[in-house]
Amino acid sequence: MRWNDLYIAGVGSYLPEQVETADEAIAAGRYTSKKKAVNGYRAVRVAAPGEIGPMMAAKAGRQAVERSGHDPEEFGLVLHSYLGHPGLDMWTPASYVQRETVGGSGPAYEIKQGCNGMLAALELGGSFVTGRPDVTAALVTAGDAFRMPYIDRWGTDEQTVEGDGAAAFVLSSRGGFARVRSTFSIGDSSLESMGRSGAAWTDVPFPGGETIRVSARKRDYLLAEDLELDGAIEKIAGNVKYSLEHALKEAEVESADIRFFLHQHIAESIATHAIYGLLGVDRATSTFDWGLDLGMVGTADPVLGLDHVIATRSPRPGDIAVLQGAGAGYVWSVAVLEFLETPHWAA
């Protein structure tokens, strides 16, 4: 979809101070040298005791709101996404984030679409802001703290390593430092069972207190008798490429125009094939190497990358940034942004 009056007015991020390295995890028997060599992760950030994802999201959200120049009463929507346990069951973390940031009487909703949640929220929030004359701004946040025994950041997935942290951005119909030129999302539910294959239905969350094993579900999926592996890979690769091509077409942008390509902190082996090889993206335009010291921070990676390039790479008016994500289920999203100015907090 091409957007005419949708802007990013502020961006915020929060990363805990504590660092846990891959070498420390290897020494503790939680990771292996082989996985480190293949996946590329060097370290992650670890939330302090009692520091939950919504708390970190609220910190990032307050920073984004302050930078945006919007008053709290201008916000008509808050969207919050996450992957892991938000601190309590039967609770409303989106409303908590709203209370801790902008308050007000607008609705607060959770967006749950795996690792793609934050980019999905950008597209949904954009529709809300531009379609409601009484709404000027929306706050979008993401935050996760991955803890044992529910999730083993070094072992729940054979390829991905999870890091703690949060990010936020403000969508505005009034103006901002960047214009959203286009967004595009595409889904393929035929791949949904990849996230649950071999897992039995449960009556309660976290039954038995056993650590989630995402990789075991993937193995069961790949071993299913009726699965055509080549067909599944073709679908995934095809939709990664199609979503980018479609978003660029809607934005009237060529791939050569991209200065920043901001994607998830996936394993290096996957990024090399599915991003740089498949899409022809120049790795130097990304923040991927920086992200190998953070791990995959829930749904927040592309927005963390956006905040990072603002702070370190001197974006200029006219620069194009592409945010790309995917979430199991499967849904792929791409957003194309054009910098209108260097954000005032980076000048």
DSSP secondary structure string, 294-327? T-B-TT-HHHHHHHHHHHHS---TT-EEEEEEEE
* Cβ proximity of 108 and 57 under 8 Å: no
The residues near 85 (Cβ < 8 Å, ≥ 6 apart) are: 147, 150, 151, 206
Per-residue pLDDT 10s for the chain (347 aa) are: 899 999 999 999 999 999 999 999 999 999 999 999 999 999 999 999 999 999 999 999 999 999 999 999 999 999 999 999 999 999 999 999 999 999 999 999 999 988 999 999 999 999 999 999 999 999 999 999 999 998 999 998 888 999 999 999 999 999 999 999 999 999 988 777 766 666 678 888 888 777 766 555 555 555 564 555 566 667 777 888 889 998 999 999 999 999 999 999 999 999 998 899 999 999 999 999 999 999 999 999 999 999 999 999 999 999 999 999 998 878 989 999 999 999 999 96
- Whether 344 is covered by a domain: the verdict is no
Q: Is residue 232 domain-resident?
A: yes
Same domain, 170 and 188: no
The last residue of a domain, from among 177, 211, 245: 177
Classify residue 252 as exposed, middle or buried by CB count within 10 Å of its CB (0-12, 13-18, 19+).
Answer: exposed
Residues 201 and 335 in one domain: yes
Residue 136 lies in a domain: yes
Same domain, yes or no: 186 and 148 = no
Q: What is d(CA 283, CA 277) in angstroms, rounded to the nearest whole number?
A: 10
- Examine residue 275 and state whether it is found in any structural domain, yes or no: yes
At which residue do the structure tokens 């449960």 appear? 202
Q: Are residues 204 and 334 in the same domain?
A: yes
Residues 45 and 191 in one domain: no
Q: How much is the pLDDT for 327?
A: 86
How far apart CA 297 and CA 164 sit, in angstroms, is 6
Same domain, yes or no: 23 and 85: yes
pLDDT of residue 60: 98
For residues 40 and 138, membership in a common domain is answered with yes
> Which of 151, 177, 203 lies at the terminal end of a domain, its last residue?
177
Say whether both 172 and 216 belong to one domain. no
Same structural domain for residues 187 and 210? yes
Pairing of strands 18-21, 43-46: antiparallel
Q: What is the CATH classification number for the domain harbouring 109?
A: 3.40.47.10
Pick the last residue of a domain from 124, 153, 177. 177
At 202 the pLDDT is 82
Instruction: Report whether 129 contacts 186 (CB < 8 A).
Output: no
Domain assignment of residue 345, yes or no: no
Query: Which tens digits make up the pLDDT trace of 122-150?
Result: 999 999 999 999 999 999 999 999 999 98
- Are 156 and 246 members of one domain? no
Residue-range definition of the domain harbouring residue 185: 181-339
101 shares its domain with 196: no
The answer to whether position 1 is within a domain reads: no
Number of domains the chain is built from: 2
Answer whether residue 164 is part of any domain. yes
- Whether residue 168 is found in the same domain as residue 192: no
